[in-house]
Amino acid sequence: MSDGDRSGRLAGVVITGAGGGIGRALALAYADPGRPIALLGRRRAALQESARMLTERGAMAAIYEVDVRQARDLDAVAQDFHQRFGPVGVLIANAGVSQGTLTAALEDRAVFQEIVDINLLGVMYTCSAFYGVLARPARVAGIASVAGFRGLPGAAAYSASKAAVIAYLESLRLEWRSAGVRVCTICPGYIATPMTAHNPYPMPWLMEVDVAARRMRRAIDAGRPWLVLPRPMAVLGYLLRRLPIPIYDRVFQGLPPKPRQSQGGER
């Protein structure tokens, strides 16, 4: 990553969904003394708490109350942060929502669209808005999920959105490589955040969020193109993607579906 300019100023970091969960943990993982960090999210109080934690570590926090579905608002945020702090060395498109959906339930149509808009279009809008203010070289990461490897019962919107994010980031990696930008696709398994707190099914290898964030930072800074964590989930994910359909259906058809009520959280 570009870790500073000729003046010695540390390169800025931008994180969406920074009001809690993985987003806040990533902000803390990057909270080097003197580093400017933009915290983007929809909940001002949560962003203020994240900012307080960053400033205690000596980082400079800039709060932007913004919805990643609003591309023009993200454009304005990118320009403001660039004018205040200079080029962005690390951009992390983390904002996402998780909620169960059923195709047969007509009331879930709007929920399905919201999930896709935030989880997929929000990543694209974020990357598009900040491309012009990225340092060279720079690091970009998007948070996908192992749920994007195969469709899960009762989670069609979430699985589909994360599968699309994986494909989008792969395309982006190829598009931006020649410009000196390294793109990392991150696929977490079960991470201990408010988003997973109410899942009604077993969550093997549940990982503490601060541990996950430190591993994510190492992968992003190293310019790695792909990270699945925790490590056992990477092996399981590899096997799941190759499991024959009849076996996959037999194993997963009877699992409890993802809760349909919103858990209301950024990661």
For the chain, give every domain's residue range.
12-252
Tell me the pLDDT of the chain (267 aa) as tens digits. 556 655 568 999 999 999 999 999 999 999 999 999 999 999 999 999 999 999 999 999 999 999 999 999 999 999 999 999 999 999 999 999 999 999 999 999 999 999 999 999 999 999 999 999 999 999 999 999 999 999 988 999 999 999 999 999 999 999 999 999 999 999 999 898 877 666 666 677 889 999 999 999 999 999 999 999 998 888 888 888 889 999 989 988 877 766 775 444 445
- Give me the catalytic one of 30, 64, 125, 158: 158
| Residue listed under structure tokens 């959280």 | 265
pLDDT at 238: 86
The Cβ of residue 127 has, within 10 Å, a number of other Cβ atoms equal to: 22
Q: Is 190 a catalytic residue?
A: no
138 is written with which tokens?
A: 């720079």
Which amino acid belongs to residue 62?
A
Asked if 133 and 150 count as a contact pair (C-beta separation under 8 A), the reply is: no
Q: Give the distance from CA 169 to its chain's centroid.
A: 12
Supply the CATH classification number for the domain 12-252: 3.40.50.720
127 is written with which tokens?
A: 């990357």
Q: In what side-by-side order are the strands of the sheet with 181-188?
A: 60-65, 36-41, 12-16, 88-93, 134-143, 181-188, 226-229
Q: What's the rounded Cα separation, in Å, for the pair 52 and 173?
A: 33
